[in-house]
Amino acid sequence: MSIFKINGGVQLRGEVKISGAKNEALKLIAFAVLLKKPVCIRNIPQIVDIERQLEIFKCLGGKVKNIESGIELDARSIEKFDISKSTANKLRASLVYLGPLLSRFSQAVILQPGGCQIGERPIETHIDAFRQLGATITENKEKIILKLDEPKHNKVILCEQSVTATENIAMYAAAQEKEIIIENCATEPEISALLNEMVKSGACISGIGTRTLKILGSKDLNLDSADVIVDRIEAATFAIAFAATGGEGTVTPFPSENLQSFVDVLKKCNVKIEISGNSAKVLKSEDLKPFSISTLPYPGFPTDLQSPMSLLASRAKGVSHIEETMYENRLGYLKELQKMGLNVEFHGLHRADVAGPVHLRSTTIHSLDLRSGITLLIAGLMADGETTIEDAQIIDRGYENIEDKLARLGAKIKRIS
């Protein structure tokens, strides 16, 4: 457990380099289970969630080697298809081993899911999808056991546009020599990046980036290397940090093609952002305007950017409307920001109005989850005086060297373990 001590009132300035996308890297590690020879993954972020995913890979029997260009994964020695409770409980993304393990061993065992700080995230979409392919499923209080020698049907209709369910079924299909059609898919850029690596490894996939995928897999998947795409959520978060602190700076790389809904909202807020090539420059922005956002699956406004947007609402003159459609507890961070003086009116679990402008005051606040944690950290930078953020290690799950990156931009931040 650790805390951050932040002396606020500093306008961030400079250039920040964005790390690789956590949400692609986690799935590439799981996909390596299906590869017939070692693979090198480059631009992989050094964050806690990646460490935990690699720990699971090793517990299954895989080998992990740090090399100059990234990490090398060798799955040839994997013999287990049951993820241990001690490792699975540390990381919900362990669920994405389900598809690869089931495809490789014709069976897989996963733990019954628990709750989550941001709301319930049931896995029935995953289970139902494999059931549609013909899997037999046995459950007890602790575990779910799936068995499927080969797909008995070739069509899956996902009951929701779930990112991880789309990836799970796609990874399963990538190693099956029978065409499988998946409908109602999620289309996030990290999914497309993962699918493109599957194609490079030998699978035939059509419909990448659409709601319908057709996958004809191969029993002989091989991939020499994979490059993780830039983390669009981190890039957007730093753009918000520059604007919210009244500073200015450059975000590189900035994947504007994957952040159109976010950029559109920034411009409506009167945030001055100039995009050139793979960089974005945020200029000092005054007279911010209120906004309305409603989170939606891609290409809609990302749920992972909903919380930091509240900080721009605190600087805008007027009332901003925030609607979180995907998770029932994700507005909980606003109660922490209320301790700092944020003017919030709640309308049930999914909607809130934020009235501004207000000047945030320093206090002690508590990180509830990854995205609320980074939001509270930026709030501490905005407030005068010293702010203490408890459970700061939660932020390490998704942001690489966060205090070092912020310090190079002028932040006065100290971690205490």
Say how many C-beta atoms besides its own lie within 10 A of residue 102's C-beta: 25
Say how many C-beta atoms besides its own lie within 10 A of residue 228's C-beta: 25
What single string gives the DSSP state of each residue in 283-298? Answer: PP--S----EEEB-ST
Angle among Cα 16, 372, 115 to the nearest 5 degrees reads: 130
234 Cβ contact list (under 8 Å, min separation 6): 18, 19, 398, 399
Whole-Å CA distances, 57 to 87, 237, 381, 401: 10, 30, 37, 23
Which tokens belong to 86?
Answer: 């001690």
161 Cβ contact list (under 8 Å, min separation 6): 184, 185, 186, 187, 211, 297
The kind and range of the H/E element at 208 are none
Per DSSP, 47 falls in state -
Which tokens belong to 283?
Answer: 């200029």
Whole-Å CA distances, 146 to 98, 166, 292: 9, 17, 43
Catalytic residue of the set 40, 59, 116, 159: 116
* Omega before 299 within 30 of 0, i.e. cis: yes
What single string gives the DSSP state of each residue in 62-107? Answer: -EEEEETTEEEEE-TT----B--HHHHTT-GGGGGGHHHHHHHHSE
Which tokens belong to 12?
Answer: 């961030």
* Omega before 253 within 30 of 0, i.e. cis: yes
Is residue 116 among the annotated active site residues? yes
| Residue numbers annotated as active site | 116
